[in-house]
Structure 1
Amino acid sequence: MIAIQVLEQSVVVFSKNYLPISKINVRRAIQLLIAGKAEALNLTQESWLVRSPSIVLVVPAYIRLTVASVERIWKIPPVNRREVLRRDNYTCQYCGSHKHLTLDHVIPVSRGGLHTWDNVVTACERCNQRKSDRTPIEASMPLHTQPKAPMHPTVAFAEQFWRAEPFPPEIGGTSKHNAETNIS
């Protein structure tokens, strides 16, 4: 593998409390390891041997921060057009269109529906007019996804990580072969 490609490989960073918080490249992982701000986690055999004129460093696929970071306070954003469109991936939740998007109350406000994360969805103008003052069931227009409030970005990353990441060999998973490179 070419040295530059190795430096751009992904390393998963765990918090001091073993919560997966992000992915960084090998270059940043080396900085954290050398500065003593992180330690290697031997969850898999996957690692990269990185050489420079003065040091040889084994960079694992997983590292854990050794410094306690102050958790940022994260508030659920307000229910507004920009945040709802972002949550729904700029897609009509009734037909899947990406054009002429508006907001729609699943249970109409005129029927007691509130302007909350679990009652507001993205809808194209056509679907919004077709649904009118009815519920999705009454209009025979099922939602593609159930609306919910967005979650903390770290929690979202951890959830995605545990779903997508292969399990380590110790618990029945497999890992890729080690890669080696020289950096001059």
Structure 2
Amino acid sequence: MGKVLVLNQDYSALSVCTVPKAFLLVYMNKAEMLAESPRHFLRTVSNEYPMPVVIRLNHYIHLPYRGVVMTRHNIFRRDGNRCQYCGTHDHLTLDHVMPKSRGGKTTWDNLATACKRCNSRKGDLTPEEAGMHLKQSPFRPSFLMFIRDFSGLAADEWMPYLGAKDRAYQ
């Protein structure tokens, strides 16, 4: 079954949940359905219900700042599972753009996906010193940007609630 975008009462993206969880929230009047699947339905023995795609909670949920957790997997997703130097999908590793030995930190802004060959070639140099150019500079994605552009979960029906595809959310 698919995933459902959950919006807070003010229409800000809150999370992603399963279809059964979303249906239960709607059924118990804790949320309203804003978008439903045109092709899929939830069926019981005697009834058919629309399958939720986007729901909005009826009460505002206060949450602290939500960021994307920096993990190897999430950095690969951000970079499209491609080496940021040569573009290959094979033998991927993480590269510190500014090498750790020269004070580079393990942060979103300093880590890029690199294949073993390019990472080894770059070694303890910066990309400029090694004569290598990044296809995209590393950056910290926002929660909205990550759901919309990198998670692989976003349905077309989610886009009006996740904003235009740009880096204004950073």
Same-fold call, TM > 0.5? yes
- Aligned in 2, Cα 1:65/1:98: closer, same or farther, shift over 3 Å? same
The CA distance in 1 between the partners of 2:133 and 2:103, in whole Å, is: 20
The CA distance in 2 between the partners of 1:67 and 1:127, in whole Å, is: 50
The CA distance in 1 between the partners of 2:156 and 2:48, in whole Å, is: 31
Q: Give 1:15 deviation, angstroms.
A: 1.7
The CA distance in 2 between the partners of 1:9 and 1:103, in whole Å, is: 31
Which residue matches 2:54? 62
Which residue matches 2:32? 39
Work out the percentage of aligned pairs sharing the same amino acid. 35
1:18 aligns with 2:11: yes
Q: Give 1:76 deviation, angstroms.
A: 6.1
Which residue matches 1:135? 126
Give the match's secondary structure for 2:127.
coil
Name the TM-score, length of structure 2 as normaliser.
0.59
**Contact 1:117–1:149 (8 Å) recurs in 2:** yes
Give the match's secondary structure for 2:59.
coil
Within the candidate set 23, 30, 33, 2:23 is matched to: 30
Q: Which structure 1 segments of 5+ residues have no match?
A: 1-7, 169-184
The CA distance in 2 between the partners of 1:151 and 1:167, in whole Å, is: 15
RMSD over aligned Cα, in angstroms? Answer: 4.1
Within the candidate set 93, 97, 105, 1:106 is matched to: 97
Which residue matches 1:149? 140
The CA distance in 2 between the partners of 1:70 and 1:108, in whole Å, is: 39
1:124 aligns with 2:118: no
Q: Which amino acid aligns with 2:76?
A: D
Name the count of aligned residue pairs.
153
The CA distance in 2 between the partners of 1:151 and 1:64, in whole Å, is: 20
